[in-house]
Structure 1
Amino acid sequence: MAHYMFVTWDGGGNRMPTIAVARALAERGHDVRVLGHDAQAAAFRAAGLRFTPYPSAPGFVLDPRPAGLLGLFTDRGLADDTVAQLAANPVDVVVVDCMLLSVLDVLDRMDQRFAILEHTLHDFLARGARALAVLVWPRGVRVSRPRSHAAPIVVASVPSLRVPFPAQPALSAAPGTVVYAGAMTPAVAAHPAQPTVVLSLSTFRFPGLVASWQRVLDAVDGLEAHVVATLGPALRAGEVRVPAGVEVHEWMPHEQVLPRASLVVGHGGHGTTLAALAHGVPVLALPLDATSDQPRIARAVTSAGVGETLPSRSGPHAIRATVERMLASSALHSRAERLGAAIRELDGPRRAADVLELSASARGRRDQ
């Protein structure tokens, strides 16, 4: 049995990958615990995982603006909390969310074996690390060194949105190794009983979110398809007008709604996009945040021919015309179905657990 600690933050799209990998390790008999924000406690404990909230960050509420995110990612309090947990309960491997730069930096300085868990496209993060290095340098946080020492970097994504995927090397936990694990959402090939459009925008209240939701809802008013809208926690009751006949939920697990979907309309978030594609469902992306990975993911979906992209300010008529065209395109659906089959073959949680077991074994050999 190996001992693991996952260090995470309340980020929405990173929750499912963290839970999926942590549970896969726990189900193999390993000792697994999670350190994160108190708002995450219920979700992780419901998944059967031991959870400890950061003592330094009670009542955390995410500020999605760039300054707020930078402050979070370089928060020395989270690093101090991690070190204190390790002093009380040493582990073989710490699995750290890719954005917690201060935690990665301190673990690298103290020679603790750690892995990085990425929850979006690896090339976006690799390029972004160079820009982040400049921004966080005045705060005394290093970026490049911890990434090159991570053993390994586990990417909860696929190497490409085109099939066949590039050949992957044998699993390795050597420092700096990048391992594409695959999607973390349980997925099956979608078989909708009728044309069904799933609407799912961000769980964060980005500027313009309410207006974007209203344009999307207006676009599907009277659409000859069943429409399911998962509004999420960022909207308050009554902020948008919902057309008659739209099935509305605050939240639904992907594995419940996507097997019956024909098309997903989203904001280009990695979690929802990859989950849809894993089910073989095409995606219409309307990115809400130009500084995030959303535009990059939207471009990748469009380039691979498994979806389309529109500006988030697109009007209802443009959105409606695109939705109707995508629903009618057999070629689009065939490409998405082929990609979905390839994603499902990776079996993301199993592959991530396999390489993290190698990481713990390597730590054990080093300490002998």
Structure 2
Amino acid sequence: MAEVVVVTWDGGGNVPPALAITRELAARGHGIRVLGHPAQRAAIEAAGFAAVPAEHARDFRAGDEHTTRELLATFGDRGMGRDLLAELARRPADLVLVDALMLGALEAARGCGVRYAVLVHCYDEYYHGALRGPLGLLLRATGLRPGRALREAAVRVVTTLPDLDTVRPGGVARQVGPIVPWRPRVDAEPTVLVSLSTFGYDGMTERLQAAVDGCAGLAARVVVTSGPRVDPSALRVPPGVEVHRFVPHDELFPRVTALLGHGGHGTTMAALAHDVPVAVLPLDPRADHRMVGRSLERAGAGRLLGRTASADEIGATVRGLLADGPHRAAAARLGARVRAASGAAGGADALEAVLPESARAVASGSEG
């Protein structure tokens, strides 16, 4: 049995793939500890894992609004790295799995000599582009060297679909496929799910209002999840549209015909897993939303809207996705690929393959 420490952060869509791989490793007999932001402690423990005390990490909550400076400070947080080192000193680990955006913790793992892996939960193409751009420049100005830390990782686990995301050739990347929940489809009336991010982006209320207005009058049930940042009472809700603060997506997607989302990787891949075409209404030009939308357009399984698209433009786009056409076949084709990937098992396989020989031998013996 190996001892694995997982480093995550309270970012929203990054957490489910990390926990899914973690659960798979735990089911195989490995010991798991999870280091995240203080706001995550209850959820980590509720999932059945030991929460590593975060005494030096910056306070961060996904539902709050964050400036670019605050995001950069969180990504490069050396306090999270100090918490990781303190935990490893208290109790060594055979492997550390670090969220790709926790670059301060990634640098700490590289510097202390522990064997470590990187979990990339967005498009690999976007991730490396961001590190080459302003994000990388600012991080390097603080003394961080993310490129070196990535090169020296034992493996980079990329949870994306080869049909949509180009992974950098060579190196230690293992593209295991999206890690999203799936349930069999249910016959139901045409249904549109409108769901923007749980993360705090600027202007979310205005963008969600435009989406609600655009979906008014559609020949379909329209379900809107407003999330933690938008109070449903702040929206003007036309007849035929229902607004909820939160509804579990895994309960909705088996009945959904089309998704209007912001292009977040997790929600988009969950839609595709259920053969659902996607309209992307991007919320932040710094994020991967537009890249996700463009990849869906190239694959024929969705449409990319402008960030300031009008209600009329949104309505026309969603109406087109509700209709029959090649976009439905394209979404089903991608959905079959997502379901076949078994990303959580593939991620666990990739991590087990780089365990030290002694930990691999113990784990192998425990299976017998």
Same fold, TM exceeding 0.5?
A: yes
For residues 285-334 of structure 1, the C-alpha deviation after alignment (integer angstroms, 9 at most, x for no partner) is 01010011111111111111110011121111111111111111331111
The TM-score, its normalising length taken from structure 1, stands at 0.91
**Whole-Å Cα distance in 2 between the matches of residues 301 and 180 of structure 1?**
18
Residue 315 of structure 2 is aligned to residue 313 of structure 1: no
The 1:252/1:18 distance shift into structure 2, 3 A limit, reads farther
2:102 aligns with 100
1:8 aligns with 8
- Bigger drift between 102-111 and 187-196 goes to 187-196
Offset of residue 190 of structure 1: 3.4
Offset of residue 42 of structure 1: 2.8
Task: State the SS of the aligned residue for 1:91.
Answer: coil
Residues 33-44 of structure 1 mapped to structure 2, 5 A cutoff: 33-44=33-44
Residue 81 of structure 2 is aligned to residue 79 of structure 1: yes
Residue 264 of structure 2 is aligned to residue 264 of structure 1: no
Which of the residues 345, 354, 361 maps onto 1:350?
345
Residues 309-348 of structure 1 mapped to structure 2, 5 A cutoff: 309-348=304-343
Q: In percent, how many aligned pairs have the same letter?
A: 41
Task: State the SS of the aligned residue for 1:153.
Answer: strand
Task: State the SS of the aligned residue for 2:234.
Answer: coil
For residues 153-172 of structure 1, the C-alpha deviation after alignment (integer angstroms, 9 at most, x for no partner) is 0012112239xx99xx9xxx
1:233 aligns with 228
The 1:219/1:192 distance shift into structure 2, 3 A limit, reads farther
**Whole-Å Cα distance in 1 between the matches of residues 78 and 58 of structure 2?**
15
Number of residue pairs matched by the alignment: 357
The TM-score, its normalising length taken from structure 2, stands at 0.91
One-letter amino acid of the counterpart of residue 114, structure 1: Y
Residue 153 of structure 2 is aligned to residue 150 of structure 1: yes
Which of the residues 188, 199, 206 maps onto 2:201?
206
2:243 aligns with 248
One-letter amino acid of the counterpart of residue 85, structure 2: V
**Whole-Å Cα distance in 2 between the matches of residues 252 and 90 of structure 1?**
40
> 8 Å contact 2:60–2:74 — kept in the other structure?
no
> 8 Å contact 2:281–2:305 — kept in the other structure?
yes
> 8 Å contact 2:5–2:34 — kept in the other structure?
yes
**Whole-Å Cα distance in 1 between the matches of residues 202 and 341 of structure 2?**
36
Offset of residue 59 of structure 1: 4.7
Residue 27 of structure 2 is aligned to residue 32 of structure 1: no
**Whole-Å Cα distance in 1 between the matches of residues 101 and 57 of structure 2?**
17
**Whole-Å Cα distance in 2 between the matches of residues 263 and 358 of structure 1?**
39
> 8 Å contact 1:64–1:204 — kept in the other structure?
no
Which of the residues 154, 160, 163 maps onto 2:163?
160
**Whole-Å Cα distance in 2 between the matches of residues 222 and 192 of structure 1?**
22
Offset of residue 231 of structure 1: 1.0
Task: State the SS of the aligned residue for 1:120.
Answer: coil
**Whole-Å Cα distance in 2 between the matches of residues 298 and 363 of structure 1?**
44
- CA-atom RMSD, angstroms? 2.2
1:128 aligns with 130
For residues 50-104 of structure 1, the C-alpha deviation after alignment (integer angstroms, 9 at most, x for no partner) is 2234112475335533211111111111111110011111111100000111111
Mind listing any 5+ residue stretches in structure 1 that lack a counterpart?
170-174
Offset of residue 232 of structure 1: 0.6
> 8 Å contact 2:193–2:256 — kept in the other structure?
yes
